[in-house]
């Protein structure tokens, strides 16, 4: 993975990422395997993504054609990587699940996808990016790691770059839940706590939307989804 001119990218200042974080405690066991097994059933279980599409539109409108955008935890590439690529943006997507990355490459051949842990993104020196999307990416991390991941994002984005992110509103930390026949671990915040974590990581919140979402699958409970429109502060 390389920077905007094809050479290794550089960190753009930032609030600190994984360099000082003890990665020996990171436990992703079962997470990628669950999504590998779920595959394109994910899109069947979550067929309506109005909040994600609306936030993706806000991001695309803030960027010129050809801008470099990171799609963090890109999943199958639908709808976000496809939406942003169709808008004329150069999309790099990463996901922990090799199966999801394979589907993303099939669904969005015009984007660039990598099987990569969020914690390893900085080591690849991919930036700087002109914008980023992180839809439910932070949801899959324990709370102690979420500020670190946001600090990493701050470091790979240009000053002033737009960021859209989403979380499920829930007061949970690394909590195991049944998910489409598998078990995954998720974290969440109440709304005000989420705002604090994001702003403390160096982002200004420019807007917010929330949706009550009922997945098509009865194996997944209804949820409140929060979408934040942010900008990277210097």
* Residue 190 burial by Cβ neighbours in a 10 Å radius (0-12, 13-18, 19+): exposed
- With pLDDT > 70 as the criterion, what percentage of the chain qualifies? 91
Q: What is the pTM of this model?
A: 0.90
Give me the pLDDT at residue 10, please. Answer: 47
Give the CA radius of gyration of the chain. 16
User: How far apart are the C-alpha atoms of 81 and 110, rounded to whole Å?
Assistant: 9
Q: Say what the pLDDT of residue 112 is.
A: 98
Q: Give pLDDT, residue 8.
A: 38
pLDDT along the chain (234 residues), means of 10: 49 71 92 84 78 97 98 96 98 96 97 97 92 97 97 97 97 91 93 98 98 75 92 96
Residue 87 per-residue DSSP state: T
CA proximity to 139, closest of 55, 223, 33 = 223
SS3 141: coil
DSSP-derived 3-state class of residue 222: coil
Q: What is the pLDDT of residue 2?
A: 52
**Inter-residue contact 6 to 123 (CB < 8 Å):** no
Q: How far is CA 217 from CA 116, 118, 128, in A?
A: 28, 28, 38
User: Angle at Cα 188 formed by Cα 42 and Cα 62, nearest 5°?
Assistant: 75
DSSP character string of 190-215: -HHHHHHHHHHTTEEEEEEEEEEE--
């Amino acid at each position: 993975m390389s920077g905007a001119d094809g050479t290794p990218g550089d960190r753009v200042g930032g609030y600190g990422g994984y360099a000082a974080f003890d990665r020996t405690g990171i436990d992703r066991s079962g997470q990628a395997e669950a999504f590998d097994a779920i595959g394109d059933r994910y899109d069947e279980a979550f067929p309506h993504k109005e909040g994600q599409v609306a936030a993706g539109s806000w991001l695309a409108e803030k960027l010129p054609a050809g801008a470099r955008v990171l799609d963090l935890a890109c999943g199958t590439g639908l709808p976000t990587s496809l939406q942003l690529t169709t808008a004329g943006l150069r999309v790099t997507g990463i996901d922990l699940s090799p199966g999801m990355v394979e589907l993303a490459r099939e669904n969005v051949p015009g984007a660039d996808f990598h099987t990569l842990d969020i914690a390893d993104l900085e080591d690849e020196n991919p930036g700087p990016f002109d914008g980023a999307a992180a839809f439910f990416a932070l949801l899959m991390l324990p709370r102690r790691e979420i500020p670190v991941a946001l600090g990493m994002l701050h470091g790979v984005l240009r000053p002033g770059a737009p960021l859209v992110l989403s979380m499920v509103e829930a007061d949970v930390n690394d909590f195991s839940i049944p998910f489409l026949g598998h078990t995954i671990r998720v974290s969440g915040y109440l709304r005000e706590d989420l705002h604090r974590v994001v702003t403390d990581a160096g982002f200004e919140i420019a807007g917010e939307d929330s949706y009550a979402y009922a997945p098509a699958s009865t194996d997944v409970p209804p949820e409140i989804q929060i979408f934040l429109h942010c900008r990277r502060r210097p």
